[in-house]
Amino acid sequence: MGNLDYKELEEHVVQWLKDYTRRSRTKGFVIGVSGGLDSAVVSTLAAKTGLPLMVLEMPIKQKSNEVGRAQRHIEWLKENFDNVQSREIDLNSRDKGLDIVNSFDFLMEHINRSLDFVEEGEAINLAEANARSRMRMMMLYYYASLTGSLVLGTGNKVEDFGVGFYTKYGDGGVAISPIADLMKSEVGELGKSMGVIDEIIIAVPTDGLWNDGRTDEDQLGATYTELEWAMEYVETFKNENGEEGVLLPDLEKLTIRQIEVVEIYIKKHLANKHKMEPIPIFNTKFLRK
């Protein structure tokens, strides 16, 4: 992982966003802000383009401290950039004027009535967390359609191409991904360089989709620092040998914890690889006469 000049990086990403908007004939951007680092950095980059930016805060079973960070980041954006608008959409409760929220309530009620064929446990919790993520993405595209804008992705390299830590057709359903080639640590350095508020820079990463407030580390079983190391370790071996990196030659040189992290990384990478690749298409060429 080479060193980056973060001011230079900022300039190039901002110009890249402006260029893509022009080529795609869109007017600006829409993003969901969660109170976390990645969405704070991406929203700041988008604000720096000078193009219209709609920032949505969409609390749904989130902890109050996460909601507060999101609100303070939005305030910071508005104080520093005059092209930023925001909306708060409470996805926890019904709103007669917002049928899409009522539809989510109906969906959850239907799920709760239909769980007789599924044992209580993590499968139900995960399915509901993914449904919440997809609900947020529906709102983002609703506003993107209204404003002729692009939905901004907030996934970093470890999440998007390492362990696949996102919801397919949820937070993975985006139009453009400004930080998907940056490690989490690099996203943090970019955020510091741009003046993102300290409480977001140091916040414990979480997706805000679980009733129990579990963090990303709780879900992944490793920190982002550990997963960055594992990704580079596995990728180095794969690049040298042209293999997937399941069988690594020098595990005996690693500590017990490093071996655990490599195993976590590989297991999640392989399990979620379907998210990172194009949708499989059955090829009928061999059947055509």
Alpha-carbon distances, residue 89 vs 105, 147, 255 (angstroms): 14, 17, 46
Residues 25 and 115 placed together within one structural domain of the fold: yes
User: What does the pLDDT look like over 151-178, one tens digit per residue?
Assistant: 999 999 999 999 999 999 999 999 999 9
Nearest alpha-carbon partner for 40 in 203, 183, 174, 171:
203
Instruction: Write out the two tokens for 178.
Output: 């400004």
Between residues 34 and 123, which one has the greater pLDDT? 34
Residues 10, 119: one domain? yes
Shared domain check, 250 and 113: no
Q: Report the predicted TM-score, pTM, of the whole model to 2 decimal places.
A: 0.87
**Domain end position, chosen among 211, 239, 256:** 211
| Per-residue pLDDT tens digits for 107-163 | 556 555 555 555 556 677 788 888 889 989 999 999 999 999 999 999 999 999 999
Residue 54 neighbours by CB under 8 Å, 6+ apart: 28, 29, 30, 31, 85, 86, 87, 143, 147, 149
Domain that holds residue 203: 6-211
Whole-angstrom distance, CA of residue 274 vs CA of residue 224 = 21
Contact 196, 13 (CB under 8 A): no
Q: Residue 147: which CATH number?
A: 3.40.50.620
Please provide the distance, in angstroms rounded to a whole number, between the alpha carbons at the two ends of the chain.
50
Say yes or no to pLDDT of 245 above 50. no
Based on its alpha-carbon atoms, the radius of gyration of the chain, rounded to whole angstroms, reads: 20
Same domain, residue pair 159 and 226:
no
pLDDT of 182 strictly over 80: yes
Supply 206's token pair: 């979480």
Q: What is the pLDDT of residue 270?
A: 93
